[in-house]
């Protein structure tokens, strides 16, 4: 009874969804182990590799599936993968997030070298923006990129980098003169060291990277010098709504777990679901998740034709879906009483996995802040229009 049956997914999207659901089902028996992993869980990676799904995140011509990436397909895939495992979802999602600057801003030589390997999951991608002292406010970064002869020299530290230590290359944001640039740094580069990152409540492959005068040729430059924010914007425009897909998948899993428990456990002579508050809790989550799915598919569908123009809708979908996932996981734990608190249970894992979704790739408050600014601009335009007429 999920709303994807009401939304007009094409036959092509349904076919991709089927592949993703099969992958999720294959990983489910060892998903708990994968989700405890802070390195690549090889069995999970092997199932994903075998499925060919990573071809969805790379453009055709470089081993990918289609000419331009399809945010709706990616959201549908992430929904299915996250239903089973956050590790699986991250392995898939980061192949795209980590390589998209290369897809849109790399030289043919760089693209030919790396993208077919990304599509085949033979190379793992990373995107290095965050620094020990800089998170949401990326204009405050201190990593530098400097031209030296025909080379680029990268100097600085990056923190909380997904796939840090496991990736084959990183797309790295740095300051260059008065602007911000991006450069591809292979993991094997001299002067680049990766240390194990923080051990967070929902284990994740995280690394701390140090770039100690790392030298790469100018051909490793991504996009125009000083124009890295445009590359990041293009990445967000395609991938932000896919995190909403992850939120929907996790929220649905929480609803299903809670429902299974509340229909089989009886208290006061009745299934828990029939004790008003429990049923209402789970039904509220269902309503949240269905609304989030509708918004996510709609925003992803808009992003298919013109991702940048619809970034606001992607932000709304990300806020709606990840907040819904958080509420659904929390209510599910409550509905399951003490059983929802047991370490190693699926719902306990979902509860922890829901939390980072509201922080990374644009914390809820940061997105709401930018949406509020948009409202202000639109209101100012309307007021100016009234004065003219």
Smallest Cα–Cα separation from 243: which of 41, 82, 23?
82
Q: Give the whole-angstrom CA distance, residue 73 versus residue 56.
A: 8
Among 116, 135, 191, 337, binds ligand FAD (CB under 6 A): 135
Does residue 2 belong to the site contacting ligand FAD (CB under 6 A)? no
Q: Give the whole-angstrom CA distance, residue 377 versus residue 359.
A: 26
CB 254 within 8 A of CB 85: no
213 sits in which H/E element: strand 206-217
Q: How far is the CB of 363 from ligand FAD (least distance, A)?
A: 3
CB 222 within 8 A of CB 80: no
Does residue 130 belong to the site contacting ligand FAD (CB under 6 A)? yes
Q: How far is the CB of 197 from ligand FAD (least distance, A)?
A: 9
Q: CB under 6 A: which stretch of 212-220, 272-280, 294-302, 365-373 binds ligand FAD? A: 365-373
Helix axis angle, 11-27 relative to 71-84, nearest 10°? 20
Does residue 108 belong to the site contacting ligand FAD (CB under 6 A)? no
Q: Residue 108 or residue 365: which is nearer to ligand FAD going by CB?
A: 365
Q: Residue 59 or residue 207: which is nearer to ligand FAD going by CB?
A: 207
Q: Give the whole-angstrom CA distance, residue 190 versus residue 213.
A: 9
What's the token pair of residue 257? Answer: 């777990």
Q: How far is the CB of 83 from ligand FAD (least distance, A)?
A: 19
CB 44 within 8 A of CB 85: yes
Q: How far is the CB of 249 from ligand FAD (least distance, A)?
A: 16
Smallest Cα–Cα separation from 323: which of 355, 297, 350?
355
- Which residues ranging from 153 to 172 are in contact with ligand FAD (CB under 6 A)? 160-162
Binding mask 191-230 for ligand FAD (x = CB under 6 A): -------------x--------------------------
Among 57, 72, 121, 128, binds ligand FAD (CB under 6 A): 128
Per DSSP, the three-state class of 59 is: strand
Does residue 136 belong to the site contacting ligand FAD (CB under 6 A)? yes
Binding site for ligand FAD (CB under 6 A): 127-130, 135-136, 160-162, 204, 356, 359-360, 363, 365-366, 369
């Amino acid at each position: 009874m999920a709303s994807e049956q009401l939304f007009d997914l094409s036959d092509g999207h349904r076919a991709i969804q089927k592949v993703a659901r099969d992958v999720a089902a294959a990983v489910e028996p060892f998903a708990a182990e994968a989700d405890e992993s802070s390195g690549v869980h090889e069995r999970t990676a092997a199932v994903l590799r075998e499925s060919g799904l990573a071809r969805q995140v790379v453009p055709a011509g470089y081993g990918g599936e289609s000419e331009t990436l399809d945010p709706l397909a990616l959201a549908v895939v992430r929904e299915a993968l996250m239903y089973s495992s956050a590790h699986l979802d991250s392995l898939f999602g980061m192949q795209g997030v980590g390589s998209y600057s290369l897809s849109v801003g790399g030289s043919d030589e760089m693209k030919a070298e790396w993208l077919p390997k990304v599509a085949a999951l033979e190379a793992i991608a990373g995107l290095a923006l965050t620094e020990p002292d800089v998170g949401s406010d990326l204009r405050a970064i201190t990593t530098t990129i400097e031209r030296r002869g025909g080379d680029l020299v990268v100097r600085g530290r990056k923190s909380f980098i997904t796939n840090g230590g496991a990736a084959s290359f990183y797309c790295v944001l740095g300051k260059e003169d008065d602007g911000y640039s991006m450069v591809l740094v292979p993991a094997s580069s001299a002067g680049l060291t990766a240390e194990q990152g923080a051990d967070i409540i929902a284990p994740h492959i995280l690394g701390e990277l140090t770039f100690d005068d790392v030298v790469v040729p100018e051909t490793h430059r991504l996009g125009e010098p000083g124009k890295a924010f445009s590359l990041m914007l293009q990445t967000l425009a395609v991938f932000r709504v896919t995190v909403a897909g992850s939120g929907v998948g996790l929220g649905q899993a929480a609803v299903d777990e809670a429902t299974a428990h509340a229909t089989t456990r009886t208290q006061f002579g009745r299934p828990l679901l029939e004790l008003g508050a429990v049923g209402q809790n789970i039904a509220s989550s269902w309503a949240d998740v269905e609304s989030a799915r509708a918004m996510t598919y709609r925003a992803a569908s808009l992003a298919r034709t013109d991702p940048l123009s619809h970034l606001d809708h992607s932000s709304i979908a990300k806020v709606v879906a990840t907040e819904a996932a958080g509420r659904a996981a929390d209510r599910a734990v409550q509905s399951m009483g003490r059983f929802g608190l047991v370490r190693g249970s699926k719902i306990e894992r979902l509860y922890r996995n829901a939390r980072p979704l509201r922080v990374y790739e644009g914390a809820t408050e940061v997105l709401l802040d930018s949406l509020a600014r948009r409202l202000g601009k639109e209101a100012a335009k309307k007021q100016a229009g009234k004065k003219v007429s």
